[in-house]
Structure 1
Amino acid sequence: MLVLDGADRVLQTYPVGLGFAPEGHKQFEGDGRTPEGVYTIDRRNPNSTYHLSIGISYPNEADIAFAEAQGLSPGGDIFIHGGPRPGIDPTNVRDWTAGCIAVTDREIEDIYAMVKDGTPIHIFA
């Protein structure tokens, strides 16, 4: 993941963890994929189940229309987040990222401080 400033200069880069099916754009709830495309940072959750989380504006209108045309839900609640808080055992679930973008706790602290709501995010494989 790259964090850019307003002039498209790289501020920082981070390795990330993705859903259990990391190839291809998220289409439906539970498909294990991470959305691909242009979204916006639209919320933040300091009380997340994970160590801080920043919300991504998935699903957009096109995502919703595609899923509904198939008679399915597009899913939602996609975040950039740190590791699970104490008491959550990631080995007890199939995919603890659930299609989100996971970074280390220290990295989400940095990202949380740098990236403001309304910031565009480009997610591509």
Structure 2
Amino acid sequence: MMRICSIVCCMFLAFSAVADDDLWLLVDTKARKIEVKKGDKTVETIDKIAIGRGGAGVKNHRGDNITPFGDYRIGWVGEKSMFKRFFGLNYPSVQDAENALRRKVIDEYTYNRIVYAHQFHQIPPQNTPLGGQIGIHGLGSADKRVHEVFDWTHGCIALTNTQIDHLSQLVSPGTLVKIK
């Protein structure tokens, strides 16, 4: 796991410079949809998404299966994911780290590592007590019927394989993703 994170961090140092700043994603966890936005205008909607088994909200710790609320950027794209395609988010954010430090979930050293990564447009550490590897992905070989019935991820946002293929035509590293 640590080796993967190190590779990811080194490969995607300048992710914020790649994306179209006007295009962004609004993930509505209550309505179970993603709105593709261009400025304030919704240009497309992707329905019937799945989120974490623990619902959405403040992510308390690794393994809580919660999809975190907040503003993130796509930090990397995994084209050979077991979930078809994986758009990794730069979770945890500075805000996530501040909240976790205040609650004593992480120590100051971990907080500083997360803040440093964001200051230099790097992927924050993915192996903290807050967890990591949060993103938007497809189903891979998973059963589409299960996807349609309940939320099943460990905190990610899941789409069908067709939807994730389509989304890959619209987004790139650096794209803003707001999860509410």
User: Cα 1:18–1:56, aligned 2, differ >3 Å: closer, same or farther?
Assistant: same
* Length-normalised TM-score, structure 1: 0.82
Match for residue 70 of structure 1? 105
1:53 corresponding residue in structure 2: 86
Q: Distance in 2 between matches of 1:37 and 1:14?
A: 19
Counterpart secondary structure, 2:64: coil
Task: Give ranges in structure 2 of 5+ residues lacking alignment.
Answer: 1-33, 107-127
In structure 1, the partner of 2:125 is none
Q: 1:9 aligns with which of 41, 44, 55?
A: 41
Deviations, residues 33-76 of structure 1 (Å, cap 9, x unaligned): 00101111111000011011111111112323433522570000
Q: Tell me the SS of whatever aligns to 1:66.
A: helix
Aligned AA for 1:10?
Answer: T
Which sits farther off after the overlay, 61-70 or 45-54? Answer: 61-70
Q: Identity percentage over the alignment?
A: 33
Residue 22 (structure 1) shift? 0.7
Matched, 1:18 2:74: no
TM-score in terms of structure 2 length: 0.58
Matching residue within 67, 70, 73 for 1:37: 70
Q: Which is strand-richer, 1 or 2?
A: 2
Question: Is 2:137 aligned against 1:81?
Answer: yes
Corresponding residue number in structure 2 for 1:108: 164
Q: SS in structure 2 opposite 1:46?
A: strand
Residue 96 of structure 1, CA deviation: 4.9
In structure 1, how many angstroms separate the alpha carbons of the residues matched to 2:56 and 2:164? Answer: 23
What 5-or-longer segments of structure 1 have no aligned partner? none
Secondary structure, in 3 states, of the residue corresponding to 1:30? coil
Moved over 4 A (4+): none
